[in-house]
Amino acid sequence: MQIKPRWSVPLAAATAAALLFGMSACSQEPGGGSEAPSGDAGALKIGLTVDLSGVGSMIGTPGKMVAELAVEEINAAGGVNGQQLELVVADNGGLPQNTKTAATRLVESDQVAALFAPVDSASRDAAMPTVVDADIPFFYPTLTEGQVCAPYLFSTANTPQQQLQETIPVVQELEGKTKWFLIGNDYVYPRTSLEAAREFIEAAGGEVVGEEYVPLGTTDFQAVISQIRSSDAELLLPVVVGADTVAFEKQAYDAGIGANVLPRLTISYDDNTMAALGQDIAQNMYVGMGYDMDLDTPENRAFVEAYRAKFGDSAPAVTAYSIYVYATIKAWADAVTTAGSTALADVAEAIVGQVNTTPAGEVTILDNRYAQESIHLIKYVEGGEKEFVQTFDNVIPAETCSVS
Amino acid sequence: MDVVINEVLSILSSAAIASVIALGLGITFRLMGIINLAHGEFMMIGAYAAVYAGAIGLPWPLGLLAGVLAAAVVGALAEVLIVRWLYSSPELSILGTYGLSIVLIQGVQVTLGKGYLYSSNPFPGAIEVFGVAYPIYRLVLIGAAAVLFLIILLLLNATPLGTKIRAVAADGKLAETLGIRSSRLNLVVFTASAALAGLAGVLVGPLGNVRPDMGADYIFTAFVIVIIAGNSIVRLIPAAILVSTVQNLMTFWIDPMVAKIAVLVIALLVLQGLRRTPGEVTV
């Protein structure tokens, strides 16, 4: 005789708990931080979808905070065309399918006048059909590989080509070295970035002596490190992202090819990454990015002061991944004020060519909906200090595509 | 010659990490018939415990101990609350432990946050091995793996407890008729497996970062090693070395993606070539 196992109760409990946790992880958060009470008929709503619970929450969390700050400042200055703004936030949990749901909710239920989405490009693409149907402007204010153009899509943050074009020759000259090894994760952003890098390196008289792509989620980098070491590389350009960054840099440092031996130029390591690496490993890394919280300009000092006043000193660092959310909401508000309308065609006409003075410097959206903006070359030096090597203003994004 | 020595050490240290993870996984799989999809999360628990122990100023060996204990406690609780009820069915064990893994990841996210924790290297620097400078910590890993395997194999083969565990693994019901409490032994084995995962979690911390979903990155290779090793604990060692060799050399000479695929192909070939029948356990 066989006794029937009594698995059902604990298993059902575990499954239910798992489902509950899963659901709470992707839940949507209405009315995040807006000043106007939810359902205020007079308020003009804008939608923000960010990753607050997944791997991208290091970008999503400050992204949401700066959006709240932008809306608060716009409202304090009288709103847009006499109307107060209301920010509606939806968490996408880092997943494309959730982004689609979030976009649909924001567009159909909340009837937002514009959608802002500092998310990964797969999530952006998932939200696109919804935005097209609604005929509203879609702002993509985070670092992007570019390559996608549409009349309604405004990509306002840096592209790899902008980050690399001016910085590669300068790093070659400062270090007196020309032989590069390129390493990236195996997906579209690193591949596009390193393709651009190769072009600028060769144009600057440098040479690519090795190029390697590793799968996302790689934990053991020894073989790649051996490859870098057995090449005669003098400089390294890593576009390794997320958790892989820390694993790669720690292991490279231990294996004797840290940035102290082999200087890096990176376009994806932001302040948060550098903090996760620790100051010894970060030392001697160059970063080419459109923003850093320590930029010494009046606009940035005012922004940082307001951000710290609102969210405190322990709030996460705002980086190039998230600052353009702030800059873009402000730019949209100005364009709506100029146009006197929130319709896509009117906003597009007003915003293209509009010069926006932002904490990240002057940002001008061009015909193909990418932005001409400043790029800063920053070097991490001893003791976790930063040195602002050079600023390149008005760096033009490549015409990889156009709006017909 | 330097390249050869460096590659050999790299392969050995990769194999050391992978084999310790596979050891815990293989013990529950081969001795209990449980496919534990929460093994990576037990690693994560261990890694977190060690980081927090370090944060309050405890030396590294105590952090290691904290990691092992934390994972063992969570593992024991999981056995009593969930896994115990699933022994009759490997399919249910997959579902149950998968649920457990989600609960553990989300539980840590909610209570301790999603950010990366920094696990510092307890043995920084490099040392000369046959004229090649090699990170000390990697060498420590190789040594640790060797000692662990020795202890586990001795425990299973040369102690009364080991005999009982093997008896329960071969036929639990028959063992019960001989006066062996199989449920109690299963608890011991599952807890030991979780403790090994916790240890592995502490050991990999300094090579990467500590975060709630870190386990998933390590489990793939460990499962492949368990499959290749078949019904044997000791064969986990050559299996880990084989997988690490293929992965390292293919990455070095061809491409990391090709290396990952090659490892899967080897697992398939081994499965097809041997056509083993399950049941008999050798150690």
DSSP of A261-329? TS-EEESS--HHHHHHH-HHHHTTEEEEES--TT--SHHHHHHHHHHHHHH-TTSPPP-TTTHHHHHHH
Least confident piece of the model among A55-64, A371-380, B134-143: A55-64
- pLDDT attached to residue A7: 40
Strands in A44-50's sheet, in edge-to-edge order, are A85-91, A44-50, A115-116, A138-140, A153-155
Supply the DSSP symbol for A37. Answer: P
Which is nearest to B182 in space by CA: B162, B165, B158, B194?
A: B165
Residues found in chain A: 404
Q: Which of A10, A18, A276 sits opposite B116 (nearest CB)?
A: A276
Task: Reply yes or no on whether the pLDDT at B277 is more than 70.
Answer: no
pLDDT value of position A15: 46
Q: How far apart are CA A266 and CA A285, in angstroms?
A: 7
Q: Is A315 on the interface with B (CB under 8 A)?
A: no
Determine the distance in angstroms separating the CA of B14 from the nearest CA of chain A, rounded to an integer.
Answer: 7
Residue A24 pLDDT greater than 50, yes or no: no
- Please check whether residue B71 is in contact with residue B194, taking contact to mean a CB–CB distance below 8 angstroms: yes
Polymer length in residues for chain B: 283
Residue ranges of A 242-281 with Cβ closer than 8 A to chain B: 243, 246-247, 250-251, 254-256, 276, 278
Contact B133 A256 (CB under 8 A): yes
Q: What is the pLDDT of residue A213?
A: 94
pLDDT > 70? residue A5: no
pTM of the model: 0.85
Contacts of A214 in chain B (CB under 8 A): 251, 256
Q: Comparing C-alpha atoms, which of B51, B37, B99 is closest to residue B201?
A: B51
pLDDT averaged over every residue in chain B: 89
Q: pLDDT tens digits, residue range B56-69?
A: 999 999 999 999 99
Q: Is the Cβ of A39 closer than 8 Å to some Cβ of chain B?
A: no
- B170 closest CA partner among A363, B122, B178, B214: B178
Nearest CA to A268 among A228, A237, A235, A295? A237
Residue A325: CA atoms inside 13 Å, Cβ hemisphere, count?
30
Containing A220, the helix (H) or strand (E) segment is none
Over residues A378-396, the mean pLDDT reads: 93
- CA-CA distances (angstroms) from residue A139 to A34, A86, A118, A293, B203? 19, 17, 8, 22, 43
CB B210 within 8 A of CB B117: yes
Task: Using an 8 Å CB-CB cutoff, list chain A residues near B138.
Answer: 254
Sequence-distant contacts of B263-268: CB under 8 A, at least 24 apart: B263/B221, B263/B224, B264/B224, B266/B224, B266/B228, B266/B242, B267/B224, B267/B227, B267/B228
Distance from CA of A374 to the nearest CA of B (A): 29
Taking alpha carbons only, the member of A238, A172, A174, A233 closest to residue A208 is: A233
Residue B163's contacts (CB-CB under 8 Å, 6 or more residues apart) are none
Around Cβ A2, how many Cβ atoms within 10 Å?
6
User: Are the beta carbons of B186 and B84 closer than 8 angstroms?
Assistant: yes
Residue in B7, B247, B257 closest to A226 by CB: B7
CB contact (8 A) between residue B109 and residue A254: no
Question: Hey, is A22 helix, strand or coil?
Answer: helix
Query: What dihedral angle (degrees, nearest 10) is formed by the CA atoms of A325, A329, A332, A338?
Result: -140
Read off φ and ψ for residue B108, nearest 5 degrees.
Answer: -70, -40
Q: Which residues from chain B sit within 8 angstroms of residue A186, using beta carbons?
A: 256-257
Decide if pLDDT at A176 tops 70.
yes
In chain A, pLDDT over 90 holds for what percent of residues? Answer: 72
Task: Return d(Cα B105, Cα B68) in angstroms, integer.
Answer: 18
CA-CA distances (angstroms) from residue B141 to A251, B135, B203? 14, 10, 7
Contact: B256, A218; criterion CB under 8 Å: yes
Q: Which residue has the higher pLDDT, B115 or A41?
A: B115
Q: Give the tens place of pLDDT for each residue, B166-214.
A: 888 888 888 888 888 888 888 999 999 999 999 999 999 999 889 998 9
Residue A27 has pLDDT above 70, yes or no: no
Q: Does B138 contact A250 at a Cβ distance shorter than 8 Å? A: no
Please name which of A309, A260, A289, A266 lies closest in space to residue A361, comparing C-alpha atoms: A289
SS3 A349: helix
Q: What is the pLDDT of residues B87-110, one digit of tens each?
A: 878 788 899 999 999 999 999 988
B10, B100, B260 ranked by CB distance to A222: nearest: B10
pLDDT digits (tens, 9 = 90+) for A283-302: 999 999 999 999 999 999 99
Shortest alpha-carbon distance between residue A172 and chain B (Å): 27
